[in-house]
Amino acid sequence: GAVVSQHPSRVICKSGTSVKIECRSLDFQATTMFWYRQFPKKSLMLMATSNEGSKATYEQGVEKDKFLINHASLTLSTLTVTSAHPEDSSFYICSAPLTGADTQYFGPGTRLTVL
Amino acid sequence: EDQVTQSPEALRLQEGESSSLNCSYTVSGLRGLFWYRQDPGKGPEFLFTLYSAGEEKEKERLKATLTKKESFLHITAPKPEDSATYLCAVLSGSSNTGKLIFGQGTTLQVKP
């Protein structure tokens, strides 16, 4: 099966700092990757669609200047939470489909805690 | 508007007690329906993709079925290790972005 990794798995930072989360497709190339946010005991909320070689597409209500997405290569997308605040604390998960396929494979998630 | 509703929200079973989880959907042309398993603190793990009504897929104690309005995830003789949250998602045929619409999930607890 397709494998997606995320780094780091956990991060704790101070309010006002920026945090970068990496999402990598390990055994396949992904022209598209998706970034989700998940609150406790809630389902996944799509934040943005990351496209290799072009700008990310953000969902309504998601601040693009706060959540910077860069799809640097066919195997790497990064999410940077800028000037993080406690309300940004959450579980962030990325996913990627195999090229030409519909099934999305998810990373293990990154737990962000902002103090 | 595309929508996915899962029921029940939570389900407690005794080990060996078979049951079914429901995923009802309304979508403008179903391109695919997906089942995932999510353990606490982890990302969703892919289980099944179903494309058309009447299709069935099995994996160990799990069997997923699909009709034109809903999907069922049947769990036969569950074990404690089957305890997890099961997520259902659909992909609309009108989508050109690959965006999945998720249900709220069913949290399954299997007691020994």
Whether the CB-CB separation of A107 and A2 falls below 8 Å is answered with: no
Give A81→chain B minimum CA distance, Å.
Answer: 19
Measure Cα distances from A80 to A18, A112, A114, B2 in Å.
Answer: 7, 11, 14, 30
pLDDT at A101: 83
Q: Spell out which residues of chain B touch residue A30, defining contact as CB-CB under 8 Å.
A: none
Terminal Cα-to-Cα distance of chain A (whole angstroms): 37
Q: Which two tokens stand for residue B31?
A: 């391109």
Query: Nearest CA of chain A to the CA of B108: how many Å?
Result: 13
Query: Which pLDDT score is estimated for B70?
Result: 97
Q: Which residues of B touch A46 (CB under 8 A)?
A: 99-100
pLDDT of residue A2: 86
CA distances from A60 to A63, A88, A93, B94 (A): 8, 17, 18, 19
SS3 A40: coil
- Would the CB atoms of B32 and A102 count as touching at under 8 Å? yes
Cβ distance A49 to A79 under 8 Å? no
Low-confidence residues of chain B: pLDDT under 70: none
- Distance (Å, rounded) from C-alpha B76 to C-alpha A105? 25
Which pLDDT value is given to residue A40?
A: 87
- Strands B10-14 and B106-111, sheet pairing: parallel
Say what the pLDDT of residue A75 is. Answer: 94
- Give residue B96's pLDDT: 73
> Which of A 2-61 lie inside 8 A of B, CB atoms?
4, 6, 32, 34, 41-44, 46, 49, 57
Q: Which residues of chain A have pLDDT under 70?
A: 1
